[in-house]
Amino acid sequence: MDESGAEDAGGDPLVLVSNRGPVAYTRSERGERTAERGQGGLVTALAGLAGHFQGAVWVCAALGEEDVAEAREHEGAAFDLEGDGPALRVRMVELEPEAQHKFYAVISNPLLWFIQHYLWDLSDTPDITRHEIDAFDNGYAPVNAQFADAVAEEVEALGGRATVMLQDYHFYLVAERVRARCPGAFLHHFIHIPWPHPDAWKVLPPGMREALFRGVLGNDVIAFHSRFYARNFLLCCQELLGLGVDLDRYTVDVGNRTVATRWHPISVNPEELEAAAGSPAVADHVRRLTGERREHLVLRVDRADLSKNILRGFRAFDTLLDDHPELAGRVTFLALLQPSREDVDQYVAYLEKIRTLVDDVNRKHGTDDWLPVHLDLDGDFDQVLAAYKLFDVLVVNAVFDGMNLVAKESVLVNERNGVLALSENTGAFEELGKFAVTLHPFDIQQQADALFAALTMDADERRERLEACAAVVRENDIAKWLREQLRDVRRFSERAPRA
């Protein structure tokens, strides 16, 4: 075990696979190509895995022009990544732009993302037309094949034995193909978003649906953030594919193999977060926001994603102000939103709806010297950390969310006995629900009432709830998430029949 508390995963090297990689290349003003850390919490979490294997290579997509240039310079092969962390090699896969668009902006998002977060309005959307079929056949499938071939080459270069850890819904077809070519690989897939019940998958034509399930069942272990998602996955295998499942042992039989499902809630690194929250840049934002704030601060921090339920959050705030005129001028709703997936039509339209609704609420309730909702679409993480310190109520009302790391980060940083108002449909609710104020994501009146209850809660109760949430997150930290996965890798790779 090392100082992070994580154990070694045994003798095999690691091949890690995700769409966004550990590094993103850009061109500086002086014309030099510079490497920046890849975006998102997932990258930070996964970077910790590399040090526990006998060598690690991370296979990811070459996303921007400079990524592509870097990949070409290495002729598509893996190269050493320089940095302070454990030794890591990166292989950036250059995708044909049209195939990449079909893979990312038609099938992964929105089609699969919307199915897995129950976002389609089934009376009207989606239409499965030649466009979607073409995007699957000429985008998702070939991109997955290209990734599978890149992974297989890395496994072969490592002598045929390796632990392959796939991430997320972009790569459901990879494991089956790698298994066929590399029988010595142990295949593990972590799915970071919800897994819905079987009927939700009936949106897809049977051929596409079965291809996706057969593909993901090429793994030895399939992991989720919550037990409910693992259970739903098994129910899908039973009902949609007619496979034998064991709902006590959480396994599914596929031919002569048994595939295990597991659940481990992802988390954050409390020390790293608390250190970042102590920086001078954060202190500057704290000073500014403190000057601007009213008596009560309601906060939300999200990617501008439909699954986050941002519109209903503003409608609930509108209802709160209707029901409690005494709050006029005394409360602000600060929404720090990060525009996301701007090459997907639904996301562009969603952001527009957000802007319009914020204007409506502000026009209805605002006065010359009070803007009820502050919408910020280009803040940085320092501002987020400052806002975490200052909120009285944090709103996480997601329609469905695999985990929701904002809920976990915010309770570690808050300095005002802030209350977490948390959707019952988030993975985080399993751990934090009993200390949060519950939000029912579709019930606007309930959300408004819950916000009022949170804003007017007695100080001792607020403090106790916040401390309890923070204690849970400190206990179930990112090191624990890594440790549990490494334990699974050791345990199940010993059992998996391998050539």
What does the binding site for ligand F6P look like in residue numbers (CB under 6 A)? Answer: 19-20, 40, 42, 109, 168, 192-193, 340-341, 402
Q: In angstroms, what CA-CA distances link 334 with 68, 179, 394, 422?
A: 38, 48, 10, 17
Smallest gap from residue 402 Cβ to ligand F6P (A): 6
Q: How many CA atoms does the CB half-sphere of 255 hold within 13 Å? A: 8
Smallest gap from residue 109 Cβ to ligand F6P (A): 6
Say if CB 365 and CB 390 are below 8 A apart.
no
With respect to ligand F6P, which residue has the nearer C-beta, 40 or 160? 40
Pairing mode, strands 251-254 and 245-246:
antiparallel
With respect to ligand F6P, which residue has the nearer C-beta, 20 or 52? 20
With respect to ligand F6P, which residue has the nearer C-beta, 191 or 203? 191
Smallest gap from residue 246 Cβ to ligand F6P (A): 28
Question: Distance (Å, rounded) from C-alpha 14 to C-alpha 50?
Answer: 7
Which of these, 432, 48, 14, 400, lies nearest to 232 by C-alpha position?
400
With respect to ligand F6P, which residue has the nearer C-beta, 190 or 317? 190
Pairing mode, strands 251-254 and 33-37:
unpaired
Using CA of residue 101, residue 105, residue 107, residue 108, what is the dihedral sign? positive
With respect to ligand F6P, which residue has the nearer C-beta, 138 or 338? 338
With respect to ligand F6P, which residue has the nearer C-beta, 167 or 319? 167
Say if CB 154 and CB 145 are below 8 A apart.
no
Using CA of residue 277, residue 278, residue 282, residue 283, what is the dihedral sign? positive
Phi, psi (5° rounding) for residue 214?
-60, -40
Smallest gap from residue 385 Cβ to ligand F6P (A): 18
With respect to ligand F6P, which residue has the nearer C-beta, 56 or 105? 105
With respect to ligand F6P, which residue has the nearer C-beta, 340 or 346? 340
- For the chain, the straight-line distance linking the first and the last C-alpha, in angstroms and rounded, comes to 29
With respect to ligand F6P, which residue has the nearer C-beta, 19 or 219? 19
Smallest gap from residue 405 Cβ to ligand F6P (A): 9
Smallest gap from residue 159 Cβ to ligand F6P (A): 30
Map residue 262 onto helix, strand or coil: strand
Smallest gap from residue 114 Cβ to ligand F6P (A): 13
Smallest gap from residue 426 Cβ to ligand F6P (A): 12
Q: Give me the residue whose beta carbon is nearest to ligand F6P.
A: 40
Smallest gap from residue 161 Cβ to ligand F6P (A): 28
What are the beta bridge partners of residue 23? 37
Question: Distance (Å, rounded) from C-alpha 213 to C-alpha 259?
Answer: 12
With respect to ligand F6P, which residue has the nearer C-beta, 166 or 245? 166
Longest dimension (CA), the chain: 73
Which contacts (CB < 8 Å, 24+ apart) does range 232-239 have?
Answer: 232/194, 232/195, 232/196, 232/197, 232/198, 233/195, 233/261, 234/261, 235/197, 235/198, 236/195, 236/197, 236/198, 236/201, 237/213, 239/198
Q: In angstroms, what CA-CA distances link 9 with 130, 182, 236, 440, 491?
A: 45, 20, 30, 40, 9
Smallest gap from residue 20 Cβ to ligand F6P (A): 5
Which of these, 97, 165, 105, lies nearest to 492 by C-alpha position?
165
Smallest gap from residue 18 Cβ to ligand F6P (A): 7
**Which residues are within 8 A (CB) of 329 and not within 5 positions of it... i.e. 6 or more apart?**
294, 367, 369, 370
Question: Distance (Å, rounded) from C-alpha 443 to C-alpha 433?
Answer: 17
